[in-house]
Structure 1
Amino acid sequence: MPHLSLYHNPKSRSASARVLLEALGVPYDVQTIDFANGQNRTPEFLAINPLGKLPTLVHDDAVITEQVAITIYLADRFPSAGLAPAIDAPLRGPYLRWLAFYAACFEPALMDHAFQRAPLDPATSPYRDYDTVIETLVAQLSRGDYLLGDTLTAADLLWGTGLRWTTEFGIVPRLPVILAYIERVSAHPAVIRAGELDAALAEAMAPPAAD
């Protein structure tokens, strides 16, 4: 089987990639990136990802960056896990829609909200505004247990992980429908297993306590 390496920090966006890898049940190794030591800015890492960002996945000679690209790539590359609708399935389009919505609308809108930026003119903004993005998400989550209804997909593992930390930081409102969704996704064995692995990794990375 081709070799998978995840460049990872447990307190970064790469947490969602680790969750997905655990859900797929494929062997992979973790290349830990310590931000405190500037490992994301070394020439070696910048040669792999010039932005110095996580997650970064290396699959043999292929380098895949960006959360959504990694999600699409892995779920399609290992289809036996059943985490992505087939290309010719009716739900393939909605599945891609919500993955694209995460990167193209949700995250930019969060940054606007977090830094208290004034909304752009709706005629020029590719995601309209923060309130509309949240309303659109809430409307979709109100239609079923998961983004595509009753079946959890790789898109839910991405969204569930992202919503968990954004609600914890108060960037996304702690609405009942959002919290219930987070709880459902967080109950997945892969989410629990990845959380345990990352807790142990975070502890190992922590600087020693001062005497």
Structure 2
Amino acid sequence: MSVPALTLYHNPQSRSAGARVLLEALGVDYAVVPIDFASGQNRTPEFLAINPLGKLPTLVHDGAVVTEQVAITIYLADRFSAGKLAPALDDPLRGPYLRWLAFYGACFEPALVDHAYKREPVVPSAAPYRDYDTVIDMVATQLARGPWLLGERFTAADVLWGTALRWTTGFGIVPKLPAITGYIERASALPAFVRAGEKDAALMAELSAASAAG
């Protein structure tokens, strides 16, 4: 029996949830190494040797380590679904696709952290993302054009944003605006999201049982 070349270090209650959905959407063979936060598996020397930040998602492909949500999204979609879930280099949607992936990491997440910790926004000229309200308004406005982030075409960017918005609205960090909740509902109904959710529910049960036993 061959060993999958792709290995995802994963915990369903982390940012790696989106990476698992993407792997399901791509239909590739992959292995999962569960990381139990309760027992500190993300801080072991073995895991820190792979990702010194001790963060998820962490992906290993044929010995090469890929971290950071946006990098993993770009890498997997280009490597296994170029021209489908990832617009080709000469596709007019390639620029907007990359724009919204970069916006996620450079603007959305930092703005949410500032908002969650009630940090005062810096002056607009110094902030790479201006402020939280502007970021949320931009996202909601883009999604209102729907049904997907780039209009009629579903891409790997929707996997990233769909999982992230489902998570952040659930915690109350992002408001449940109609354009955002409608988008989450459409994404969550897709087969890859459903499959990943079922597998993650089973994994969480295993992690909980192992924690209770030991």
User: What TM-score do you get using the length of structure 2 for normalisation?
Assistant: 0.95
SS in 1 for 2:38: helix
- The total of aligned residue pairs comes to 210
Instruction: Calculate percent identity across the aligned residue pairs.
Output: 72
Query: Which residue in 2 is equivalent to 1:158?
Result: 160
In structure 1, what is the Cα distance between the partners aligned to 2:140 and 2:212? 42
In structure 2, what is the Cα distance between the partners aligned to 1:194 and 1:144? 23
- How far apart are residue 87 of structure 1 and its match? 0.9
Consecutive aligned runs of 4 or more in structure 1 exceeding 3 Å deviation: none
- How far apart are residue 80 of structure 1 and its match? 6.0
Query: Which residue in 1 is equivalent to 2:25?
Result: 23
Partner deviation per Cα, 1:150-200 (whole Å, 9 max, x = no partner): 111000011000000100110000111100000011111000000000000
Query: Which residue in 2 is equivalent to 1:112?
Result: 114
SS in 1 for 2:92: coil
User: Which ranges in structure 1 are unaligned for 5 or more consecutive residues?
Assistant: none
Q: Is 1:208–2:178 an aligned residue pair?
A: no
SS in 2 for 1:208: helix
In structure 1, what is the Cα distance between the partners aligned to 2:188 and 2:147? 13
Q: Is the 8 A contact 1:8 1:33 kept in 2?
A: yes
Query: Which residue in 2 is equivalent to 1:183?
Result: 185
User: Which ranges in structure 2 are unaligned for 5 or more consecutive residues?
Assistant: none
Letter of the 1:208 partner, please give it: A
In structure 2, what is the Cα distance between the partners aligned to 1:47 and 1:97? 32
Partner deviation per Cα, 1:105-137 (whole Å, 9 max, x = no partner): 000000011000000110101111000000111
User: Which of the residues 46, 64, 76 maps onto 1:44?
Assistant: 46
SS in 2 for 1:36: coil
User: Which of the residues 173, 176, 182 maps onto 2:175?
Assistant: 173
Structure 1 segment 56-75 matched on structure 2, within 5 A = 56-75=58-77
- How far apart are residue 208 of structure 1 and its match? 2.7
Q: Is the 8 A contact 2:143 2:149 kept in 1?
A: yes
In structure 1, what is the Cα distance between the partners aligned to 2:138 and 2:82? 31
Letter of the 1:94 partner, please give it: P
- How far apart are residue 82 of structure 1 and its match? 1.4
CA RMSD of aligned residues (A): 1.5
In structure 1, what is the Cα distance between the partners aligned to 2:8 and 2:81? 19
User: What TM-score do you get using the length of structure 1 for normalisation?
Assistant: 0.96
SS in 1 for 2:128: coil
